[in-house]
Structure 1
């Protein structure tokens, strides 16, 4: 930091706020700390009595906070997002489309561990809508060594830390199991719930079957939907371990790869997730337990966005739901702005 004549300050960085007071009109900040003095700023500075200023000396290898913020944006932003204007070393990332937010968590941790810089984001693997704020970045000090920003680029790697997988246009087939539904003994209250949730992602239902508890027919109905072009098949009910619950076995009989039968999530512990290879297509098959029919939020709400974005879900990711997998059934549901699934 050094003191220089105001007329000589062009291109230098202010070390303190400059206050302007106009009687009965204004009292506030004229220029903020970190502002780079421009030629047109000189008259205004002199008008508030600032004939001398304390400024940072521009040295080789030292970056202003706004220059360094550009680096944070560069390593953070992927496709389908844009940055806000830079202000005081800060840039925000804004979504340009609807989709699922993906985060390279290892890279995020490495950058935040360097010190003097930060990136704060919302949770990954959750839906994001166009216009949503994804993350905020900031350089902590007024100036920072260029070599530190070079290190940030190095630890972040070649891929951006954040990316968005846009939702795909899909159509679903629903296989409603249970002899009680097939025989008309009870009203099907499961399918309306599924349709409502699918509508959130503009996913039409191409058809519904009611094979009862016939294991072979359940398998046939699933395969028939796939043959007809379904991008997603949902089997509702029949997911417990009772002898007459045939859905898990029927899904297995399709030849699909079972990712998991069971999830550390309440409600939704009896989830089954599988993927069926149909030539070059991969079709998700979901076996949903009865809780999806009556609980406000369940495991279905955690995995559906990823299914709709063609984001493959691994068994270890399902296992990781154990922490945060307990829905508290709050009187006023604020999901996804809560801890469920996080």
Structure 2
């Protein structure tokens, strides 16, 4: 820091906030730390009693907070994202289009372990809409040693820390099992729920086939939808371990590779995920999806809609944050449910 006359401060950077106090009216900063003094600022600074100012002296090998915040924003990436103008050493990053927000959590952790810098983000695998804020960057002091930023660059690597996977337009088939529905003893209430959730995305529902608790009928219904051009098939009913619940075995009989039967999510433990021909999701949805406001389906569907293919480890990671608390007022996804996904 260097103390200079206020009249000579044009073009220099303030090292601290300048506060204006008017008794009974206001007590607030008129200029923030990091502000670059202009000619128009001089009368205001003098009016608050600042005839001298502490300003930042540029030093070789050190960066001002504004420049450093831009460096950190660059580590995050900008494909499908926009940056706010740097202000008071901070840059906000927002979504330019709808999609699934992805964070390389491990690399972000390593970057945030570097002293005096920070990048805060939304949780990974969050649905975002155009204009949503994704992240914010800044350094802690007014100036920072460039060596720390170089360390952050090395830890971040060449790939951006953040990305947005755009949602795809898809076709879906719904296979509803259960003798009680098939024979008309009760009205199907599962199909409307699935259609409503799919309507949040660009999905054409090819139709709904209601079949008996019969492995061959279920298999034929799944395969027929795929032959009609379905990009994904959702099977409802028959997902428990009861002897007459044959949906899991029917899915297997199509030749689809089962990633998991069971998930560490409540509601949603009896969930099945498989892929037909390696890339068409065939999903078994447990009964809870029909009556719970949010469930495993809400965590998985956005990833299916971006072709974000999941393996067993992806499903296992959902256990941390996989407990829905059934809040009286549901705020999902702005809550802990699915927070580790």
2:229 matches 1:229:
yes
Q: CA deviation at 1:283?
A: 1.0
Please give the root-mean-square deviation of Cα atoms over the aligned residues, in Å: 1.9
Normalised TM-score (structure 1)? 0.93
Within 2, Cα distance between the matches of 1:157 and 1:36? 32
Partner of 1:215: 215
The corresponding residue for 2:329 is: 332
For 1:184-333, what aligned pairs fall within 5 Å after superposition?
Answer: 184-277=184-277, 282-333=279-330
Please give the per-residue CA displacement for 1:203-257, whole angstroms capped at 9, x wherever unaligned: 2311111221221121121111111111110010111111211111111111111
Q: 2: distance between equivalents of 1:321 and 1:156?
A: 25
Q: CA deviation at 1:44?
A: 4.2
Aligned-pair distance for 1:140?
A: 0.7
Distance 1:331 1:2, change over 3 A: same
CA distance in 2, matches of 1:191, 1:81: 36
SS state at 1:230 partner:
coil
Distance 1:24 1:323, change over 3 A: closer
1:141-152 matched pairs, under 5 angstroms? 141-152=141-152
Q: Hey, what does 1:97 align to over in structure 2?
A: 97
**Structure 2: distance between partners of 1:190 and 1:212:** 15
Q: Mapping of 1:117-132 within 5 angstroms? A: 117-132=117-132
Distance 1:23 1:126, change over 3 A: closer
For residues 129-162 of structure 1, the C-alpha deviation after alignment (integer angstroms, 9 at most, x for no partner) is 1111111212110111112111111111111111
CA deviations 1:113-142 (Å, max 9, x no partner) are 002111111111121111111112121101
- TM-score, structure 2 normalization: 0.94
Write the mapping of 1:26-175 to structure 2, written as runs, cut at 5 A: 28-46=28-46, 48-175=48-175
Question: Which sits farther off after the overlay, 304-313 or 50-59?
Answer: 50-59
Query: C-alpha deviations, 1:254-307, integer Å up to 9, x for none?
Result: 1111110110111111101011127xxx21110011111111211111101111
Contact 1:66 1:89 in 2 (8 A): yes
Does structure 2 retain, via aligned residues, the 8 Å contact 1:117–1:138? Answer: yes
Structure 2 gaps, min length 5: none
* Residue 16 of structure 2: aligned partner: 16
Asked if the contact 1:78/1:161 (under 8 Å) is kept, the reply is no
CA contact (8 A) 1:12 1:55 kept: yes
Change (3 A) 1:25 1:293: closer
- For residues 57 and 266 of structure 1, do their structure 2 counterparts lie closer, same or farther at Cα, with a shift above 3 Å needed? same
Instruction: State the distance in 1 between where 2:270 and 2:303 align.
Output: 19
Is the alpha carbon distance of 1:300 and 1:26 closer, same or farther for their aligned partners in structure 2, counting shifts above 3 Å?
closer
- Number of residue-to-residue matches in the alignment: 339
